[in-house]
Structure formats: structure tokens, C-alpha cells
Structure 1
Amino acid sequence: MYIPDLYKNENQEEIQNFLHENGFAILVNQTNGKLWATHIPLILDKNDLGKDILVGHVSKENPQGESFSNNTDVLAVFSGPHSYISSSWYDHENVPTWNYLAVHVYGKAKVLNHDEAVNSLKKLVDKYEKNSKKPVRVEDLSKKTMMEARGIIAFEIEITSIEAVKKISQNRDKKNHENIISELENTGDFNAKQIASEMKKSKKI
């Protein structure tokens, strides 16, 4: 991913939090000789050696799962809030742009066995059920329902590199930076407000 130095995010704690909070990713690889992308939730976890990994699954009907045995290289794209930035918000003439946060994770995919697949499902369900009034637990599902787990290919991704971008008007002076925040908040758009919040965290002095 091309990232100008000004917008590179190398804060590992921020990146990990971002991956935990924006877990719905696009998984990309070469499948049957062409680029293939699948939209799936991925969980940031650790393997037995304490190294960071991503864990997820695809349907057995999805050719991407079968491709992991021939080509293990994958890219997981995680997107965060984003918003259009109008140049009418500046005190000088310039071009419009776009503010956004994103993380690209590169790695090697390895297919999991059935028991490991079920364990990964437990982690996924537990993560997203934790705020439910009546949380679903994989352990409580019937054998009949759990037969559906036979229809997935679960995998873990050994992370080889991470690239993170945080483009939030770092190139603007204090006056314009504050005005952009104000304009974003006034749009009423969810993503715009999220970008405004990120800008506030790194507010210029």
C-alpha cells in the first residue's frame, strides 16, 4: 500500500486496537490463477508461540479456501472510518480530498483441523455475542446445528507484515484542522463524525 510518510501509523497499540474494533475484512489472494476477494470477519489472536495471527473461515463452497494449499500468501484489508473533505472548509484555495483509516495485513494462510476450526468459531461468536442480552455460545449448540461446522474451511494467518495508514489532515495548520473537525461534525454523517473524533485525538496545539 502506498502511504506518504506523514500518514504512516506505526503505533502498534493503535493498530491492534484498530484490528479488534474493525474486524470485518476483505481477504485477498490468488485463486485459480486470478485475484479473489472474500468479505469475512477475522479475529486477531495469538498462536502457541505467542505470535500475532489472524483467524477466520470461509465456506467450503468458496474456491478461496481450497487455494490455501497451493498458494498461502494472503492480504487482509481492514477499513475504518472515512470521509470526504471539502476544500471549501479551508481558508485558502486547494483541492478536495478524503480522510480515512485502514490497515493491510500480509501473511501466510494455514488450514486448521476440525477441532481447531470449532475453537476459532467459539472465539468469533464470543467476541460478537458479549453484548447480547442472551449471548449465544457454541458450546450450547446442538450436535445437529454444529454439523454446519463441517461446511467451513477454517484457517489462521501467520502475519508477516502490517501497513497502517491514518490520513486525518495532518498537513493542515491548527486553524484549518479545527475548522475541518467542526465541518465534519456538522454533516451529521456517522463516518464523518468518527473521522472528526480521530482528528480530535491528535488535535494540533
Structure 2
Amino acid sequence: MLRQDIFAVTDPERIRDLIRTHAWATLISHVPDRGMTVSHLPVLVADGGPGDALVLTGHLARTDAEEHQLGAHDVVLVFQGPHGYLSPVWYEATPHVPTWNFVVAHVHGRPVVLGPEHTYGVLTDTVDHFEGRFPEPWRLERVDAYAHRIAAAVTGFTLTAARVTAKAKLSQDESDEVVHRVVAALTADQPYAHPQLARAMRDSRRQQ
């Protein structure tokens, strides 16, 4: 990922928040004699990392874990926040060309594969994380016997981040007037409307 200081995200809590709110991750491995292997999975932020290190937990199908040779080598987890196309028409200023605003984090590290009991704990935590938005959350214990049976085909893991690269390209290099016009376009009734991206741009402007 292209490194640009103006777009770099270094605040650990901001990175954790990105992962918490966009927990559907892409797992990328380079497996010897097989090449690149890619999977998609939910990943959570774990508490209590050593020295405030970022610690993640996740799970994927056992066959996927075997394809990645999970735990045998380093991997990258990619978390993608709000993103979208920006038309130069919205800027009402020249010169501008089409571009893409986005928020993303890359977490590098080597997973530690968990045993059945801890894997079931990851499954429980994952359900609780996503169900927590409902007024009456569903709990895995409601189908405990069934859940334990299918959990045998799941591999859980933890990953302590060895390196994190995060970027929020949100028009920080543009004037307040231009950002205001782009935000207005993103919240209007038009083909590339994206209120969540507009909110991220407003938040970024306040943090500058």
C-alpha cells in the first residue's frame, strides 16, 4: 500500500475501532508450493494484548485453515472501511480527476491455532459481537449441542500484530470548501451516494 503521511492512520484506538466496525476481513497467505491463498472471515479485537499490542481473534472453516497452512507462516489481514468513487464534477474546481476515497488497515502477523475449547470461545464471542446490536441478542448457547457439533469443522486462531499499516484517504489534501461539496454529493440522491463515507470525511476534517 502506498505510504503517504497525510493519509496515514497511527492512532491505535482508531485502528481498533475500524476493525470493530468492519470486522469482515480478508486473510492473505503465501503458501510454499501453492502460492497465494485468500479467504474471507470475521475477525474480532481481543482485549489485553501484551504491551498494548493489537491482538485479534478469528475463525474459518478447517479446510480453509489447512489451505492456508495456518500457523506455519506470516499472513496479512485486510480490513476495509467505508470507500467510494468521487466524481470531479463534485469539486466545482479544476484541475481534478476522478479518485477513490477509502479507509483500510493491513495487519501482519503469524496466527496461533487454537484448540477446540478456545475455538468454541471465539465462536461465542463472534456471535455476541454481532448480535449485540439487537435489543434481544441471540446467543449460541440456544443451540449448544448443534453448535459444538459443527464447531469441530472450524479452526480458531489468535494473531498478535507484528506490523500494522492503516490509511484513511479522505480528501485531507483538499480545502474545506471542496470537502463540503464532496460530502454534500455523497449524501445526495445520486448514483455514488455513500453517507458512511461522507461521515468519515467529516470526522477526519474535525481531527485535522
Q: TM-score, normalised by structure 2?
A: 0.88
1:171 deviates by 1.1
- Percent identity between the two aligned chains: 25
Distance 2:90 2:165 in 1: 30
The answer as to 2:123 corresponding to 1:121 is: yes
> C-alpha root-mean-square deviation of aligned residues, in Å?
2.3
Structure 1 unmatched ranges of 5 or more: none
Displacement of 1:34 in angstroms is 0.8
Find the aligned partners of 2:49 and 2:2 in 1 and give their Cα distance.
33
How far off is 1:141 after superposition?
A: 2.4
Residue correspondence of structure 1 range 49-64 to structure 2 within 5 A: 49=50, 51-62=53-64, 64=66
Report Cα offsets for 1:53-85 as digits up to 9, x if no partner. 1111111222546602432x0100001111111
Distance in 2 (alpha carbons) for counterparts of 1:46 and 1:203: 29
Residue 3 of structure 2: aligned partner:
3
Deviation at residue 27 of structure 1 after TM alignment: 0.6
Gaps of 5+ in 2: none
Match of 2:170 in 1: 168
Return closer, same or farther for 1:69/1:76 CA change in 2, 3 Å cut-off.
closer
Contact 2:49 2:55 in 1 (8 A): no
Aligned to 1:37: 38
Count of residue pairs brought into register by the alignment: 204
- The alpha-carbon distance between structure 1 residues 196 and 74, as it changes in their structure 2 partners (threshold 3 A), is same
Structure 1 pair 151/82, CA: closer, same or farther in 2 (3 Å)? same
Higher mean alpha-carbon deviation, 22-31 vs 189-198, is at: 189-198
- For the residues of structure 1 that align with 2:122 and 2:67, how far apart are their CA atoms? 16
Q: Deviations over 1:28-59 (max 9, x none)?
A: 11235311111100011035746431111111
Amino acid at match of 1:61: T
Q: Check 1:79–1:88 CA distance in 2 against 1; reply closer, same or farther (3 A cut).
A: same
